[in-house]
Chain A
Amino acid sequence: SQTIHQWPATLVQPVGSPLSLECTVEGTSNPNLYWYRQAAGRGLQLLFYSVGIGQISSEVPQNLSASRPQDRQFILSSKKLLLSDSGFYLCAWSPPPTEAFFGQGTRLTVV
């Protein structure tokens, strides 16, 4: 069966520091991969998606970037964090393009 791993679960980082969040999927090949953010409140917003190695599409201009160095690995990065980058970040995968499955999320607090 397929599983998705996301780490770390929580992270506290100072303003101006770099960020790297990692997500890996097991048990499938060539998945579509996604990064979402949930700010304080409710709705989730799609940040990036990827349909293959090295292919990244950005949905929202921001201080963040994403990379897909391997088929089942998706990384969210920032060179210098801002206070506004705080939030709950979730990685997801889908067999293209059907039901999506989410990781457990990373709660990022920028101080």
Chain B
Amino acid sequence: GIQVEQSPPDLILQEGANSTLRCNFSDSVNNLQWFHQNPWGQLINLFYIPSGTKQNGRLSATTVATERYSLLYISSSQTTDSGVYFCAVGDAGGTSYGKLTFGQGTILTVHP
């Protein structure tokens, strides 16, 4: 099956700093999503981005499908950005039915 690797595994920042999270995947995808898992465990949809670039406030994401990676940028980080960030991909194979394979996540801690 498709493999998803996220880096770095852990990231500690001071409030106001910028960061880049990376997601590498091993095969063609028809779906790529970035999630933020809050302290209560809920997965918050950040981006649906199988290709291209999107921005939402201080967050932006870029997926280069031909090179099999995606980047999540967080600018001017805030303490509320703390949590786990997941990348998840859907295999482009014909019978994928939208199933997602998750990376192991990046634990982000933002200190005031």
Are B97 and A51 closer than 8 Å at their CB atoms?
Answer: yes
Are B99 and A46 closer than 8 Å at their CB atoms?
Answer: yes
Contact with B along A69-111 (1 / 0, CB 8 A): 0000000000000000000101010101111111011010000
Interface presence of A44 (CB below 8 A): yes
Contact with A along B36-79 (1 / 0, CB 8 A): 00001111010010000000000000000000000000000000
Using Cβ atoms and an 8 Å threshold, which residues of chain B touch A98? 31, 48, 98
Where the two chains meet, the residues of A that have a C-beta atom closer than 8 Å to any C-beta of B are 32, 34, 36, 38, 41-46, 49, 51, 57, 59, 88, 90, 92, 94, 96-102, 104-105, 107
CB-defined A-B contacts under 8 Å, sample of 15: A32-B97, A34-B98, A34-B100, A38-B41, A43-B103, A44-B88, A46-B99, A49-B98, A49-B99, A59-B99, A94-B98, A96-B98, A97-B96, A102-B45, A104-B42
